[in-house]
Amino acid sequence: MPVIVVANPKGGVGKSTLSTNIAGYLASKGHKVMLGDADRQQSSKLWLGLRPPAARPISSWDVGTDAVAKPPKGTTHVVLDTPGGLHGKRFNEVMKLADKVVVPLQPSVFDIFATRRFLDELAEHRNASGLQVGVIGMRVDARTISADKLHEFVDGLKLPVLGYLRDTQNYVHLAARGLTLFDVAPSRVEKDLEQWQALCHWLDR
């Protein structure tokens, strides 16, 4: 049972947007998906409460703020949305569960350097346990200098950049209805689905 953790110690980088859409993608493939929310704000749990009954089911996994439990039986895939400031004992508990870690990162110098130590820690876990780690550029135009700087930074860490997701209201409007890119007609979100192709391929591996 793969456990996909979405993590970045900095707040406001798009962890919940990424987590919910990863869960939506896996559900669209017919998997029995659980979405856990270890963040005190409980954004992903709130989103699940908005999800319409007709949408593909995604179960809620109640994750305590003080301990991370193993996912319940019957689950085939788990997505875990984590809080800002993830470190120490909590970080180690989450990494023990994780098979893959997706790090959302905005292409600003402040976000990059705020995340540097965290990425170094992930690299240690990757080398020690074979953990798979990938980076997603959030709210970025891949044609810009900012995107080039982000790619240059991540290349130095030898981590794969799994794609760049543009800044669009599609995510906002869908989230307000408990939906993802993978719950609506592809023609409505064609550009965004194209940006998800590499990430989806990585998740499927």
Over residues 11-41, the pLDDT tens digits come to 888 999 999 999 999 999 999 999 987 766 6
**Alpha-carbon separation of residue 135 from 7, 64, 78, 106, 160 (angstroms):** 10, 26, 19, 10, 6
Return the minimum-mean-pLDDT range out of 35-49, 63-77, 86-100, 182-196: 63-77
Q: What is the mean pLDDT of residues 176-188?
A: 97
State the pLDDT confidence band at 110, using cuts at 50, 70 and 90.
Answer: confident
pTM score, whole prediction? 0.90
Instruction: Provide the CB-side half-sphere exposure for 4 (13 A, CA).
Output: 30
Nearest to 105 by CA among 5, 39, 193, 11: 11
Domain 3-204 has CATH 3.40.50.300: yes
Residues linked to residue 137 through DSSP beta bridges, in sequence order = 105, 164
DSSP letter string over 128-154?
A: HH--EEEEEEES--TTSHHHHHHHHHH
Extract the tokens encoding 9. Answer: 């110690």
DSSP 183: G
Distance between CA atoms of residues 152 and 162, nearest Å:
14
Handedness of CA 103, 171, 201, 77 (dihedral sign): positive
